[in-house]
Structure 1
């Protein structure tokens, strides 16, 4: 295998890498199903053959990151989606027939799913393996070549991916790029055929702006302040325990973590008591606990602590669930104790900023309509949570709010079906992937129609216009008007 490209030492190699992949794509043509599956298998092998090394690299990047958590969420979490994609590649590749009744008469139409060409993927730091491998598998399934820019926030994981990739792929198939924010900016400005980004809305806006210069279509997987509504009819103990535990996955550094919880006004203290007890039971110690995930770097540590202190200074009630005799937050380990915030108002930064840490805001509500009005007045989150029965209130919540997905009674339940699309809406993202949605995101649906009819259909739009064309057009319009009016009268 050829050596990997290194844009840091040789500026311009990013452009050369794109051109190299595009030349190979054009020369080889669309890959068949066997080659697409083979590329997916090699992608899986890259991760599965080196799982221990990846887990160690991620732990070193974070400072403390539990091995079991990395294996479950980072590695195991992507396998079912990729296996589903691999199993359906041949089916999704097939052209779809249109105008089937016209075929016997000489008019044949098909829609062909066509590869786009070269796909760029910019990965995040919170799941630096999972969230580049998943979109890469979808891009390979659609028949594309792939370039990945790994996050500079997790440099050991990035370098490992870059070092390993040439043992499994020719750079004409897959190229992995590392480097700082300047390299990422150059990467986003490359003339890809599609650009896929996972990260914050702020950076996503910059990525979209850079891609727009080349009219590159983008998929943005972003985040937001994911709301949770606890129904008056919910099992409060179960709801509070599950929500508190979900907030702590990956140290709260998950784009689908519950962010702020709306609890019936008379049950807030009971909710907080259960959440507090749950967190204490989960973490009898934190500083020496290898299962407690650190903030990924000092910048994020300071940001999370700053959000809490800003809320405290403006009157929020701060419940820090720290073990006895442990002083937290601790800058040396970058560990922040689980924190519950109450009496939060919109003057506080945490009211609008995605927390991305072990902090959960709890808000009281009296009427569901008040919660719905509050949420629809703000940017749509990646996921909205509901704890309680599937009743009329839940259906009202689903119908009258906007979010990338909805999960009821469990963390990230909307991601359980491997065939279901995953993506945001509005500020939480554009486009989706997972399942066929991923194949579609990286495909162009190309319509191919041929006519063996003895007469032209569309040619009648060219002058001179015969009496038959004029009369036929007038009659067709008259029929269309009558049909539309009849439908309106019977509504």
Structure 2
């Protein structure tokens, strides 16, 4: 269905009026809203997981529970334990910093993990004392209908509103005059949303994606790297913003790496097409896009290696079930579309290097990704990699873990997003830190720059002396130049 913009504006106006009338939510009220929303979702999670599996085509309910219930639960429980402390004004010389809710927050979730990516930022916004309007992804029709009923049964629309409409609804939603807008999705759509919000000067947090790299160092445990890369690349059918898109391997190890990776996949997926653990690509549009990226790379000279026994029989990729087997591409030219476009599917590109600097230079010359991965020792080479590249986060000898660290901020940079959330960072994202001055100048002391074009000799001497003192302070802190 389509929500007309006027209806969305009515809800926003109603929420803002309720927020202003409340005058600042107490810790007890914030905890109540957070707790009610969390319990409403978790207590209906069996039905939510089944609905998501239907919407996907196939998605194991156990996967949904592991990745769409547990991670945010721990994060929000930590937030509840610290709300009073985080709400406290921060004393500074001459005043304090007020931790003030922003008002009405809009949250636009993403289809790949629609529960986590819609409700975790919404819960953080509620903890910070805001009202929330959520826009749920249009792809998950059955799940959206279920969640709409759950939320409407739990909250009045002046507190929390759940919007599940079509693409036109999402466009209208991004144009509303929120006090803060939080968007999760692709860089392409994120740019459109940010531009729409900018017309109203709405502050935006964007959690995007990008082409996440892996570097396998010469000192890496190759078997460990293979087993963890294999799992990381195909989790949720490869439809995760943190999944790796390409891997750099010592050139003499490329063939061995590919052979081991294919063997790993075949040992895990003895069947693929009818395997209930395999997650379908979300829709036909994305299925065709991923297959098209592979076909384009092969047409331009890349070599393809595919796991899964059904592939040899010509049964995969299968458009009806929207299943694509684990695929590895080698010798991919720079002209191939997959060299620049995020895959968001179970396809991995492999590059060989003679010198680690080749890999570092390649990664640093491209838009900053959301994640980067390094397999090898925590030594000089790894530290050089950290110094010379930029990404939202980094995990050493594993996948995805930097996004799950308790209390650690999660977010991208540049092309992969702006701003962050999780834990206190999430609370701060939806909080306005307002400086309040309480100090008063002694009576008779006027501002020397107001009321007269001339400054007294006494004041001029004071200013010159203060500047000289500042210069000496900076000089004392400069490192010795050799």
Normalising by the smaller structure, the TM-score range is over 0.9
* Change beyond 3 A, Cα 1:26–1:370: same
Instruction: Tell me the residue number matched to 2:287.
Output: 301
Q: Is the 8 A contact 2:52 2:59 kept in 1?
A: yes
Is residue 2:341 matched to residue 1:347? no
Alignment of 1:225-304 (within 5 A): 225-304=211-290
Give the total of aligned pairs: 477
Is residue 2:211 matched to residue 1:221? no
Q: Is the 8 A contact 2:89 2:99 kept in 1?
A: yes
1-side partners of 2:443 and 2:257: how far apart?
74
Is residue 2:439 matched to residue 1:439? no
Where does structure 1 lack aligned partners over 5 or more consecutive residues?
A: 1-5, 100-107
Shift of 1:202: 0.4
Instruction: Tell me the residue number matched to 2:413.
Output: 425
Choose the corresponding residue for 1:467, options 443, 446, 457: 457
* Change beyond 3 A, Cα 1:467–1:157: same
Q: TM-score, normalised by structure 1?
A: 0.94
Instruction: Tell me the residue number matched to 1:15.
Output: 9
Where does structure 2 lack aligned partners over 5 or more consecutive residues?
A: none
> Which segment is superposed worse, 241-250 or 157-166?
157-166
* Change beyond 3 A, Cα 1:458–1:254: farther
2-side partners of 1:19 and 1:457: how far apart?
46
Instruction: Tell me the residue number matched to 1:48.
Output: 42
Q: Is the 8 A contact 1:337 1:358 kept in 2?
A: yes
Query: Runs (4+) of structure 1 moved beyond 4 Å?
Result: 485-491
Q: Is the 8 A contact 1:259 1:361 kept in 2?
A: yes
* Change beyond 3 A, Cα 1:310–1:20: same
Instruction: Tell me the residue number matched to 1:381.
Output: 369
Q: TM-score, normalised by structure 2?
A: 0.96
Q: Is the 8 A contact 2:31 2:127 kept in 1?
A: yes
Report the secondary structure of 1:196's partner residue: strand
Report the secondary structure of 2:447's partner residue: helix
Choose the corresponding residue for 1:38, options 9, 32, 35: 32
2-side partners of 1:20 and 1:313: how far apart?
55
> Which segment is superposed worse, 166-175 or 452-461?
452-461
Is residue 2:313 matched to residue 1:319? no
Shift of 1:46: 1.6
* Change beyond 3 A, Cα 1:51–1:191: same
2-side partners of 1:472 and 1:363: how far apart?
63
Instruction: Tell me the residue number matched to 1:480.
Output: 470
Instruction: Tell me the residue number matched to 1:196.
Output: 182
Shift of 1:131: 0.5
Report the secondary structure of 1:350's partner residue: helix
What is the RMSD of the two structures over their aligned residues, measured on CA atoms? Answer: 1.5
Is residue 2:388 matched to residue 1:400? yes
Q: Is the 8 A contact 1:128 1:157 kept in 2?
A: no
Alignment of 1:82-97 (within 5 A): 82-97=76-91
Choose the corresponding residue for 2:438, options 450, 460, 472: 450
Report the secondary structure of 1:424's partner residue: coil
Shift of 1:144: 0.4
Report the secondary structure of 2:50's partner residue: helix
Q: Is the 8 A contact 1:96 1:110 kept in 2?
A: yes
Q: Is the 8 A contact 1:245 1:278 kept in 2?
A: no
Shift of 1:97: 0.5
2-side partners of 1:348 and 1:359: how far apart?
14
Shift of 1:248: 0.8
After superposition, the C-alpha distances for 1:139-188 in whole angstroms (9 at most, x for unaligned) are: 01111000000101112222222121011111111111111111111100
2-side partners of 1:190 and 1:54: how far apart?
29
* Change beyond 3 A, Cα 1:238–1:490: closer
Choose the corresponding residue for 1:110, options 87, 96, 99: 96
Q: Is the 8 A contact 2:2 2:166 kept in 1?
A: no
2-side partners of 1:448 and 1:490: how far apart?
39
Shift of 1:38: 1.2
> Which segment is superposed worse, 251-260 or 316-325?
316-325
> Which segment is superposed worse, 85-94 or 459-468?
459-468
Q: Is the 8 A contact 1:246 1:257 kept in 2?
A: yes
Q: Is the 8 A contact 1:228 1:385 kept in 2?
A: yes
Report the secondary structure of 1:461's partner residue: coil
